[in-house]
Amino acid sequence: MGDASICINCGRAVADPQQKFCPACGQPTPAHRIDWHFLGHELEHSVFHMDRGFLYTLKQLMLRPGRLIRNYIEGRRAGVVKPVLLIMMTGAAATLMAHYALDGDALGASLTAGMEAGAGHQGSLNAKQAEAMAQMANVFGVVKDWMNRHLTLITLLLLPVQAAAFKLTFRRFKQINYPEWLVITSFLMAQLFVVWVVFMPLQRWWSDAQVVMVLVAVLLNLFSLTQVFPGYSRWKAFLRGAAGWAIVQVVLMVATLIGAMVLGVLVGSGRIHLPA
């Protein structure tokens, strides 16, 4: 991907082709293209190493996200926290904030308010219907509690889905492969966690904070995507990004429906007993 004799980050000539790092800025030379081997190597180093520049990376991610992502994809990675490590750290911060600010309820009590209200309003329902409604509310509460406890895991599991969705909607950009889309999506997920950390404390006093948080996070993600492709219409990039987000939401709804059906069958058969 890069010339071993020149540092792609600062442009300084590298005297020894066998030299692994630029003597001026510390950038690895040559810069390798992001592929499966690169991702495996980055995952190993993300677990055992800690790069400098966390605050710098967060600042660039929130203020100049497209430039940061584009530079990282093109090989200018000196001083930038690796995306896998970044998403793990921001996810941990979101989980910690949820624990102290919302008593662990990161998803927000508003998600269950409607279901609980429906379960409580049983005047027009017969006994069997009221029991089914109460059981449904109980199932929903159990699922929400599990999602709260495994928030970072769920986010990581969504990365391949979102990367595939963006790969599909931005299919004309064939120069960006799927592993590179995984990296782009990791940066976007880290953005979401940062926004989440900012808005979570507000949920105690502002009932619409979660809705605004989702809107801000999605718009910031789409704005970032418009900056990743220089020379391409920003409106087209925005619409392609929105289409990618829509695909992810459809996949999530289908997966949730299938999971609810399976859980309902298991509960109905007596194989699983939910807490009262």
Residues 132 and 25 in one domain: no
- The secondary structure of the chain in percent helix, strand, coil, rounded to multiples of 5, reads 70, 0, 30
* 176 and 117 part of one domain: yes
Say yes or no: 117 and 6 in one domain.
no
Contacts of 134 (CB under 8 A, 6+ apart): 119, 122
Domain identity same for 20 and 60: no
217-237 pLDDT, tens per residue?
899 999 999 999 888 899 999
Does 107 lie in the same domain as 8? no
pLDDT at residue 276, as a whole number: 53
Structural domain contains residue 17: yes
Structure confidence by residue, pLDDT tens digits, 57-93? 888 999 999 899 999 998 888 888 888 888 888 888 8
- 131, part of any domain: yes
pLDDT digits (tens, 9 = 90+) for 126-136: 566 566 666 66
Q: Are residues 2 and 122 in the same domain?
A: no
Q: How far apart are CA 74 and CA 61, in angstroms?
A: 16
- In 71-211, DSSP assigns E strands to none
Annotate 137-172 with three-state secondary structure. HHHHHHHHHHHHHCHHHHHHHHHHHHHHHHHHHCCC
Do residues 120 and 23 share a domain? no
Total domains in the fold of the chain: 2
Which residues constitute the domain of residue 169? 36-268
Residue that has been written with the tokens 């592993």 in this structure: 179
Residue 274 lies in a domain: no
d(CA 149, CA 105): 9
Q: What is the pTM of this model?
A: 0.72
Could you tell me if residue 202 is inside a domain? yes
Same domain, yes or no: 171 and 198:
yes
Provide Rg for the chain, Cα atoms. Answer: 22
Measured distance CA(78)–CA(33) in Å, rounded:
15
Q: 268 pLDDT exceeds 80?
A: no
Q: Say whether 98 sits in a helix, a strand or coil.
A: helix
Same domain, 260 and 207: yes
